[in-house]
Structures are given as structure tokens and as C-alpha cells.
Amino acid sequence: MSTASAAPAGGSGRSPRRIGPFEVPAIGLGCMNLSHAYGVAPEPEAAEKLLLSALDQGVTLFDTAALYGFGANESLVGRVLSGHRDRIVLASKCGMTGVDGRRVIDGRPETVRRTADEALARLRTDVIDLYYLHRIDRQVPVEESVGAMAGLVEAGKVRALGLSEASAATLRRAHAVHPIAALQNEYSLWSRNPEQGTLAAARELGVALVAFSPLARGFLTATPPDLDGLPAGDIRRGMPRFGADHYPANLLLRRELARLAEDAGVTLAQLALAWVLSRGPHVLAIPGTRSTAHLTENLSTLDRTVPAETLEAAGRILNATTVRGPRYNDPTLAEIDTERCGAAG
């Protein structure tokens, strides 16, 4: 399914996109993997270099969360970027944190308020531009969690609110309590869940759809993850699409995409990002990376032209029907509020 005639490119690619009161480039930076989830975190000096390179290359949207590194990522972002606060749109998240070494989903109002104060201290700022509810706590009505977040706006601690991994129905409930500026859901060629409702609902409500993992957790890059080389703590070890039962078939699809990208004169990552950004003018992407070269490659997508027929072909090759395996394992899928994409989750 195509929703645009061409990927953002040339002059249009550098046009800003809106998140609530903010205008930012269509590609921001997801900061998670500088502290969390994908193997061993880089040394502080390397992480600092990456963040400053992003700033120098025009990134203004920086995305972190209390969960990432159990506070370490917010501390990193705060230490490196607090001196450039007036140049960035700073996004973080509450509602999922580390407690005694474990990941805990907790959307209770008192937890939301406490987490915000902790985040402000770590980020070395007096206000967070965009504050997301990281996960929907099934034990707490979303109206209560968002109500507490609205109180943070009234107190001047937060400027705009967002949700993450939420369905269209939940987005509408939350939006009725307080305007939601952004919905951050996984969206890529192989994760099409937003097409089940949130892509359209966000457009209708004037909400930005911020795509996390637009490069399919490194799968749609020049060097896909090597299963045997993944460190023990890498979250992809528990994701079925990277498992031995499904990964070989997915790699065959990736090869087709790589040939398509080469024929179009772009890299595979640029094709994947261009596809995401073509889904609508309200869609942004926040790929993460530890490499300044990959950062430059990702950002240069905004200066590339990808023909509509190439984007459409990419969508036919890799989609919710052709991908093998669900995006999460069963216990994690049970925690997620987003719509499912058939058998693929």
C-alpha cells in the first residue's frame, strides 16, 4: 500500500515536521543503544562523540527514557547536551523503569510524578519538551496516568505529552484527557502495526507518529546482526524474527531489498528510512546508532530521492505478510497495547 508519490528528498526532505508545538527534522536520534538493550554499551567518550556529532549534523530531536540503562542514558544525554539545551527538543519517557535490576511497568500517578523529577535531575534541565508514557500499565487506566502527566505540564515540568506502544483506541482515550503530541510506536518495513489503526488515528488527531526501530533493529542496515555474535544481554536474542527458525528466511527478503536499494542508488538503510518517512507528513523516525558513519548515512536520507515505484516494491518485498516470526516473544507481546499484525504480532 502506498501513501506517497516519493520519499522526502531534496528540498522537501529537509522540511521540518511537527510534534506538538515543535518543528524538527524528520529524522531524530534514538539514544537507547548508547546505554541499553543491544549488547555492551560503548565507552562514555564514544557515546559523547556520537551525540555531539548528531547535534553538529542538524539533529534536534533526541529521544531517551528512564528505562534505558536504568537512568544511565538520561544521565548521559543530560551531561553531554545540557549545555546545548536551547538547540534541541528533548524527549524522555516514564511508566517503565528499572527496579532492583528488573524492568517494571508502572503507570501509577505517584510513580509518573516521581519519575519525572528523577528525569529532570538526570537530564540537567528544568523542563522536558516531550514526555511519553513508555508503556500502558494494564493495571492503571490510561486516563489516570495521562492525568498525572497533564499535571506535570501544568507545573511547568513538561511541555508536551506522548504515548509509546499504544493502540488507536488508547490514543483516543488519552487525547480526551490532554492533547497528545506524539505517539511513538515501532514502524518499519517489517513491523506494520501502525497500519492497523494508529497511523490514521494519529493523522486525524494531529498527532505525530514517531517510528522507533525504523531500521528493524539493525536488520535493514549494511551489516545485519550475526546471531552467533550477539552478546548474551542483547534483546534480539529473545526476538523470534532473529531466531534460527525464522532468521534465514528473513535474510533472503533482505537480500531482495538490498538489490532494490542498489538499483535506486541508495543504501539499504536509506531505502528503509525513506519508506517510513513516505507514510505521511506526520511521520518521523528516530533510528539509533553507535557509529558516526551510520549516523551520517541515516541523516543523508533527507537529501536522497527514492522513486515511488521503488518504495512500493520495497513494501511488497517485506511486510507483515512476508516477514517470518512475531516482533516480540509471547510474554512481551502480552504487555503491548498496540494492534497486532496477523500472525506476526
Region 118-132: mean pLDDT is: 98
Smallest CA-to-CA distance from 316 within 248, 242, 260 is with: 260
CATH fold for the domain made of 10-337:
TIM Barrel (3.20.20)
Report whether pLDDT(149) > 90.
Answer: yes
Cα angle, residue 145 at apex, residues 144 and 148 outer, rounded to 5°:
85
pLDDT digits (tens, 9 = 90+) for 172-210: 999 999 999 999 999 999 999 999 999 999 999 999 999
d(CA 107, CA 146): 9
* Catalytic-role residue among 68, 132, 187, 247: 68
Average pLDDT, the chain: 94
Cα(80)–Cα(180) distance, integer angstroms: 28
Phi, psi (5° rounding) for residue 59? -70, 135
Domain map (residue ranges) of the chain: 10-337
Give 40's pLDDT tier (boundaries 50, 70, 90): confident
More confident residue, 112 or 37: 112
Is there a contact between 337 and 165 (Cβ–Cβ < 8 Å)?
A: yes
Give the strand pairing for 96-99 and 102-105: antiparallel
pLDDT by residue (tens digit) across 4-32? 444 444 334 678 999 999 999 999 999 99
pLDDT at position 344: 59
Which tens digits make up the pLDDT trace of 243-286? 999 999 999 999 999 999 999 999 999 999 999 999 999 999 99
pLDDT for res 14: 77
Greatest extent of the chain over all pairs of C-alpha atoms, in Å: 54
* pLDDT above 90: residue 121: yes
How many CB atoms sit inside 10 A of residue 14's CB? Answer: 13
- Are 135 and 105 a contacting pair, CB within 8 Å? yes
Asked if pLDDT for residue 343 goes beyond 60, the answer is no
Q: How confident is the model at residue 1 (pLDDT cuts 50, 70, 90)?
A: very low
Q: Which three cell numbers stand for residue 268?
A: 539499504
187 as an active site residue: the answer is no
Report the C-alpha gap between 88 and 80 in whole angstroms.
12
The strand pairing partners of 188, in sequence order, are 191
pTM, whole model, 2 decimals? Answer: 0.95
Side-chain-side CA neighbours of residue 31 (13 Å): 37
